[in-house]
Homo-oligomer: A and B are copies of this chain.
Amino acid sequence: MGNKINLSKYNIRTDLIVDIIDNNSNVNKETDTYEGVKITRVEVKKDMEEELNKKKGTYITIEFDDVTNYEDREKIGKCFENEIKKLLNKLNIKDDDDCLIIGLGNEKSTPDALGPLSIKNILVTRHLFILNTNHKEGLRSVSAVIPDVMGNTGIETSDIIKSIVNTIKPKFIITIDALASSSINRLNKTIQMTDTGIHPGSGIGNSRKEINKNTIGVPVIAIGVPTVVESSIIVNDTIKYLLKHISYIKNNFSKSKLTYTKFGNYLDKIKNSDLSQEEKKEILGMIGELSEEDKLSLINEVLTSINYNLMVTNTEIDYLILKLSEIIANSLNNALHRQISHF
């Protein structure tokens, strides 16, 4: 029973702002790169909240290809550290403001263990300030908790968080959590940070459970990595690329031949190939004529009605979560403290 897995947190269709703005040109965004790592900064204004189903605030996303290589991890970590520092500045958080870090999710379920695992590598120092030891030179007061999921504790996670926040009264909060992706190409390849806080297990409607500046009184920075994706999204994405692939071949080669040896970055090559409604119908019949939204909805319906709309993850997830949690913890340690003598 204690082992039962609570998937309610995966209910939200997508947790990534970049998944949304891919298909919405009304949003102002700023893009940047750091040593090959792609950075996207988005400001959601009050009047866009409903359209985007996203809270107003700042969203920063970094995207990368690979965490299996030491050099790449160094770059991702440095980029993430820089962006977190800028966000702290923007929120007027001072060098000695007390910080509480919260590792959300379920340690016993690998794709949901990003938060708890990150906490294990966080440099916790608040007790050095309480005990007034000499070892706090150059350090900020940082505490860290793993509230666990409702299926394991029997208690709503937001209740546990609010209790602790009310008692220790930090100056700001950082949460770390696994997210759901709405595109296969961002799975375990993206870190999002935002100052809009968290609203566990719900959309923007359910304000009772929200943990953000309005409900808690202090800034709440939410860090997330998409670690799971619905099968229907995999199917929908594949059909999208299938259309682009066939279109690309038809336009560049003869109509009859459907296969073709690819060179270079094939995705970049076909990405912008847009098909006419006529072409779509030719290649994919009635299905091809549906809008993106209707197609995803239909796929979803089929998979759900036969009980196959699995939430899935990479098979290398143990290794990926380990490395991602190390990147996040180390970068936070560097961003939060002026000087870390080694522990």
Contact = CB atoms under 8 A, between A and B. Distances in A.
Interface of A: 1-5, 7, 10, 68-71, 108-112, 119-127, 130, 141-146, 148, 150-156, 159-160, 162-164, 166-168, 184-185, 187, 228, 231-232, 234-235, 237-239, 241-242, 245-246, 258-259, 262, 266-267, 270, 281-288, 298-299, 301-303, 305-308, 310-319, 322, 341-343
A238 B231 contact: yes
B109 A125 contact: no
Nearest to A126: B154
Contacts of A284: 284-288
Given A184-B310, A187-B310, A284-B284, 12 more contacts: A2-B122, A3-B322, A4-B68, A124-B154, A141-B154, A144-B153, A160-B164, A232-B238, A242-B299, A245-B301, A266-B305, A285-B288
A124 B145 contact: no
Given A7-B316, A167-B163, A303 B238 contact: yes
A15 B258 CA distance: 29
Given A126-B155, A235-B238, A259-B298, A4 B319 contact: yes
Most chain B Cβ neighbours within 10 Å, of A153, A166, A242, A307: A153
A342 B285 contact: no
Given A121-B2, A282-B285, A153 B145 contact: yes
A154 B168 CA distance: 10
B167 A306 contact: no
Contacts of A3: 319, 322
B313 A313 contact: yes
A35 to B, nearest CB: 16
Contacts of A4: 68, 319, 343
B123 A242 contact: no
Nearest to A73: B342
12 contacts: A4-B68, A108-B318, A108-B319, A109-B315, A111-B315, A126-B153, A160-B167, A163-B167, A235-B239, A262-B305, A281-B285, A284-B286
Contacts of A166: 163
Contact of A266 (B5, B124, B306): B306
Nearest to A281: B285
Nearest to A288: B285
A178 to B, nearest CB: 9
Given A164-B163, A238-B231, A315-B109, A148 B146 contact: yes
B162 A153 contact: no
Contact of A302 (B127, B187, B241): B241
Nearest to A329: B2
A145 B148 contact: yes
Contact of A299 (B69, B238, B308): B238
A1 B343 contact: yes
A171 to B, nearest CB: 14
A89 to B, nearest CB: 24
Given A71-B342, A160-B164, A267 B145 contact: no
